[in-house]
């Protein structure tokens, strides 16, 4: 492996025959720049064109290669003009139908000709038909041989046909005869214990699986060749996160040795005592803060487990050390709620809390910026706005980020900049209510230490969850009426499939209007993302103080809103939401001592899958159980909120399918770093394209 001049990642695609600048540009669009990229551009699936199916055995919806003699070819008029060619073998007859065809094509398919075609049979008026099959008229004396490997179907893009991609892969594969062309970064000592194929064999196999290959295993992504690549990819990600972590660890942090004075006062003022879990996590944080390496800790705690108090304790430790703490939340509503909590808790201790969001403007903004810059505000609460360039901290030592799954890694890292002026990287505490299954947490957050608040404060009554169709809406409305007349409060949550916020808000407006008509005796509030912050604050305040009975909302209330008297929640079309999100929503009720109910009002008919998912909600109130199920039913991208955070996407690996591999990754990483430490970097470079690499971490 000394001669790197032959390494395929250094050979541009333009080396291949028939690849000019135009084609190279198209390939670049799908991330293919060199021959290694091309070989790692793996088929999405395969077609089996290695065997001929007797026409009589062709099945609906199953791709097949058929060979037959043309019995007739006619142009059918009907709704759309089409060319209809019937072919027959000893076992049966099938129709080939073309809606676009040339005269030459029509003439070629003459009676008596032998045709070999490939396509998917569908049901026609008189038996099976294939629309636009790929076909060849065979020369009976010298028929072209049929394929002897499974046919790969590659992820393509406009202007790049499958035939083109196949041709290019074949050319690239020919380079593999030189065994050093694709560098094997996993030494035998790593491959052997985990039974991993060598890289070249795996890549060759996946581009050209032999006809006897286990197609089903390949389709499921469980073939050893695929597992080898998935393993390598997961390993590369793990190593990359470890690297970030080490880089952060190497930074100078600011040890915070609190005096305990403020903490003691704060705890004495609280109307409750901390749960055992809160105490344990607070202690873990205290230890981290006292260290001179920056803290990087993720606190997981189910909805309502009391993370805010733990955050306040951490902030107090910073203040006791004459430093500043910042708390950042993903939404205005949540930031505001945190601000109110912190303000109420900390003001009696003589602490000033500043407040900054994107909507803080003009004089007010200047004022807050000055409080932050001068250090007069020891604690700052806000949204993303805290990242903006003109926000200068006097002495920021601790950044607390609530609901991490909505922040990207990059945003988290950007905070470091804010600590530049103290010559140390701020400690980071990340809090999330999304319970992330352990294996997933290990791979997605390998850069963080983990604390779990696994205990709810005493006196909570579990929420009773009811699943019913919206054909029973009138009964549900009546139920709301009775609960509210009884002095309780309720949420009515509207969801929409459309990503459009505007449409969601509109739906909530319409629903509020309808409910106001149906329930004239109730005072009904409405809250959605398009309202002004002041309006939202007023509506929230009215609900909190019990002036309104029912709050109609979009999913903006998902996180954090805390109104203990609210004991009933209706969620419309819950089948559209992820289980973790439903769990978050449901967590808004059941915060007091009264029995609470959550009605999941789906729109029938509900699929089997949909039923199972809602069943999970009915049967469990444990966020971890729900998250495990969600992972099983929807996949990790959704669970982690990948779409929001831009968390890295895997190319080959699938966190759900490959979760057994995850268990081995940590050990393999250690083994690799022992055996071949210099291989770690090239491995990361191979799998994490620049955009995803947290290089400047
Ligand atoms: P989350 O973890 O979802 O952010 P919060 O911090 O909002 O939860 O806490 C939920 C509610 O529980 C709040 O009203 C909070 O004051 C209350 N709470 C927190 N800790 C305790 C405790 N140890 N005992 C009783 N109530 C608590
Ligand atoms: Mg919270």
How far is ligand 2, taken at its centre, from the CA of residue 416, in Å? 23
The residue whose CA has the least distance to atom 12 of ligand 1 is 306
**With a 6 A CB cut-off, is 584 part of the ligand 1 pocket?**
no
The residue whose CA has the least distance to atom 17 of ligand 1 is 306
Q: What structural domains does the chain harbor?
A: 8-46+151-213 (no CATH), 51-138 (2.40.50.140), 261-453 (3.40.50.300), 463-620 (3.40.50.300)
The predicted structure's pLDDT at residue 162: 87
**Among the atoms of ligand 1, which is closest to the Cα of residue 307?**
2
**With a 6 A CB cut-off, is 301 part of the ligand 1 pocket?**
yes
**Among the atoms of ligand 1, which is closest to the Cα of residue 564?**
14
**With a 6 A CB cut-off, is 562 part of the ligand 1 pocket?**
yes
The residue whose CA has the least distance to atom 20 of ligand 1 is 306
What is the C-alpha to C-alpha distance for residues 527 and 14, in angstroms, rounded to an integer?
A: 57
How far is ligand 2, taken at its centre, from the CA of residue 632, in Å? 26
**With a 6 A CB cut-off, is 305 part of the ligand 1 pocket?**
yes
pLDDT per 10-residue tile (average), the chain, 697 residues: 60 92 90 90 87 94 94 91 95 95 93 95 92 90 83 84 90 84 91 94 93 82 93 90 79 88 96 96 96 90 90 97 93 84 96 93 95 97 87 94 66 69 86 69 70 87 91 95 94 76 80 95 91 84 92 73 87 86 86 88 87 91 79 56 45 78 88 94 81 40
The predicted structure's pLDDT at residue 141: 83
What is the C-alpha to C-alpha distance for residues 623 and 469, in angstroms, rounded to an integer?
A: 24
- Please list, residue by residue across 161-186, b when 16 or more beta carbons sit within 10 angstroms of its beta carbon and e when fewer do: eeebbbebbebbbebbeeeebbbebb
The predicted structure's pLDDT at residue 185: 94
How far is ligand 2, taken at its centre, from the CA of residue 95, in Å? 62
Ligand nearest to the CA of 592: 1
**With a 6 A CB cut-off, is 455 part of the ligand 1 pocket?**
no
Neighbours of 155 (CB within 10 A): 13
**With a 6 A CB cut-off, is 432 part of the ligand 1 pocket?**
no
Ligand nearest to the CA of 300: 1
Q: Helix, strand or coil for residue 133?
A: coil
Strands 122-124 and 151-153: unpaired
Smallest CA-to-CA distance from 381 within 341, 421, 431 is with: 341
**With a 6 A CB cut-off, is 457 part of the ligand 1 pocket?**
yes
**Among the atoms of ligand 1, which is closest to the Cα of residue 273?**
23
The predicted structure's pLDDT at residue 697: 35
**With a 6 A CB cut-off, is 272 part of the ligand 1 pocket?**
yes
The arrangement of strands across the sheet holding 127-131 comes to 122-124, 127-131, 92-98, 82-89, 64-76, 114-119, 134-138
Query: Phi/psi of residue 399, each to 5°?
Result: -115, 125
**Among the atoms of ligand 1, which is closest to the Cα of residue 591?**
11
Ligand nearest to the CA of 404: 2
The predicted structure's pLDDT at residue 269: 95
Residues 6+ apart with CB under 8 A from 199: 182, 183, 184, 185, 186, 228, 229, 232
Residues 6+ apart with CB under 8 A from 85: 70, 72, 73, 95, 96, 97, 98, 109, 115
The predicted structure's pLDDT at residue 690: 55
Instruction: Return residues with CB closer than 5 A to ligand 2 (ion).
Output: 560
**With a 6 A CB cut-off, is 324 part of the ligand 1 pocket?**
no
The predicted structure's pLDDT at residue 560: 53
The residue whose CA has the least distance to atom 16 of ligand 1 is 306
**With a 6 A CB cut-off, is 453 part of the ligand 1 pocket?**
no
**With a 6 A CB cut-off, is 380 part of the ligand 1 pocket?**
no
Residue 606 in tokens:
């509900």
The residue whose CA has the least distance to atom 13 of ligand 1 is 306
Q: Is residue 400 a contact partner of residue 311, using CB atoms and an 8 Å limit?
A: yes
The predicted structure's pLDDT at residue 460: 77
């Amino acid at each position: 492996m000394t001669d790197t001049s032959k390494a395929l990642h250094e050979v541009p695609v333009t080396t291949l025959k028939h690849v000019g600048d135009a084609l190279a540009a198209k390939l670049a669009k799908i991330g293919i720049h060199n021959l290694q990229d091309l070989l790692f551009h793996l088929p999405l699936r395969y077609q089996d064109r290695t065997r001929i199916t007797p026409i009589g055995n062709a099945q609906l919806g199953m791709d097949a290669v058929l060979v037959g003699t043309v019995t007739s070819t006619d142009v059918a008029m009907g709704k759309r003009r089409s060319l209809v060619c019937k072919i027959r073998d000893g076992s049966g007859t099938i129709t080939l139908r073309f809606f676009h065809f040339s005269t030459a094509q029509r003439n070629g398919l003459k009676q008596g000709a032998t045709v070999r075609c490939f396509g998917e049979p569908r049901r026609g008026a008189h038996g099976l038909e294939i629309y636009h099959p790929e076909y060849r008229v065979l020369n009976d004396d010298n028929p072209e041989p049929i394929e002897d490997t499974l046919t790969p179907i590659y992820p393509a893009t406009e202007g790049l046909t499958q035939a083109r991609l196949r041709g290019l892969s074949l050319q690239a594969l020919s380079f593999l005869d030189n065994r050093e062309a694709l560098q094997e970064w996993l030494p035998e000592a790593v491959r052997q214990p985990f039974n991993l194929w060598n890289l070249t064999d795996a890549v060759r196999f996946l581009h050209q699986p032999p006809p006897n290959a286990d197609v089903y295993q390949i389709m499921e992504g469980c073939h050893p060749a695929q597992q080898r690549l998935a393993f390598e990819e997961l390993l590369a990600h793990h190593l990359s996160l470890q690297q970030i972590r080490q880089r952060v660890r190497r930074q100078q942090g600011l040890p915070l040795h609190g005096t305990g004075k403020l903490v003691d006062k704060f705890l004495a003022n609280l109307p409750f005592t901390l749960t055992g879990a809160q105490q344990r996590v607070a202690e873990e944080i205290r230890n981290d803060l006292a260290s001179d390496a920056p803290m990087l800790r993720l606190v997981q705690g189910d909805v309502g487990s009391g993370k805010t108090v733990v955050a306040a304790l951490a902030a107090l430790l910073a203040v006791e050390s004459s430093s500043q703490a910042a708390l950042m939340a993903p939404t205005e509503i949540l930031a505001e709620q945190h601000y109110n909590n912190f303000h109420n808790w900390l003001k009696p201790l003589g602490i000033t809390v500043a407040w900054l969001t994107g909507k803080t403007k003009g004089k007010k903004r200047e004022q807050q910026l000055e409080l932050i810059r001068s250090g007069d505000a020891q604690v700052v609460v806000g949204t993303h706005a805290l990242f903006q360039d003109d926000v200068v901290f006097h002495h920021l030592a601790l950044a607390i980020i609530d609901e991490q799954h909505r922040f990207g890694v990059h945003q988290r890292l950007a905070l470091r900049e804010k600590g530049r002026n103290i010559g140390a990287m701020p400690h980071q505490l990340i809090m999330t209510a999304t319970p992330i299954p352990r294996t997933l947490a290990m791979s997605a957050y390998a850069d963080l230490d983990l604390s779990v608040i696994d205990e709810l404060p005493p006196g909570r009554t579990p929420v009773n969850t009811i699943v019913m169709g919206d054909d029973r809406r009138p009964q549900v409305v009546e139920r709301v009426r009775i609960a509210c007349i009884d002095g309780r409060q309720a949420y009515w949550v509207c969801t929409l499939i459309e990503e459009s916020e505007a449409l969601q808000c509109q739906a909530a407006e319409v629903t509020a209007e309808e409910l106001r008509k149906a329930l004239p005796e109730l005072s009904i509030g409405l809250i959605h993302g398009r309202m002004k912050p002041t309006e939202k604050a007023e509506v929230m305040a009215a609900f909190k103080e019990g002036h309104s009975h029912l709050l109609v909302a979009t999913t903006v209330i998902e996180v954090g809103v805390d109104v203990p008297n609210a004991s009933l929640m209706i969620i419309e079309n819950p089948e559209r939401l992820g289980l973790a999100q439903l769990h978050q929503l449901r967590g808004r009720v059941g915060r007091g001592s009264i029995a609470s109910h959550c009605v999941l009002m789906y729109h029938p008919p509900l699929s089997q899958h949909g039923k199972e998912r809602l069943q999970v909600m009915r049967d469990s109130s444990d966020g971890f159980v729900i998250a495990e199920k969600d992972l099983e039913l929807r996949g990790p991208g959704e669970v982690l909120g990948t779409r929001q955070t831009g968390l890295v996407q895997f190319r080959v690996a699938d966190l759900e399918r490959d979760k057994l591999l995850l268990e081995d990754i940590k050990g393999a990483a250690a083994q690799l770093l022992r055996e071949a430490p210099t291989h770690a970097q090239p491995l990361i470079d191979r799998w994490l394209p620049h955009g995803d690499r947290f290089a400047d971490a």
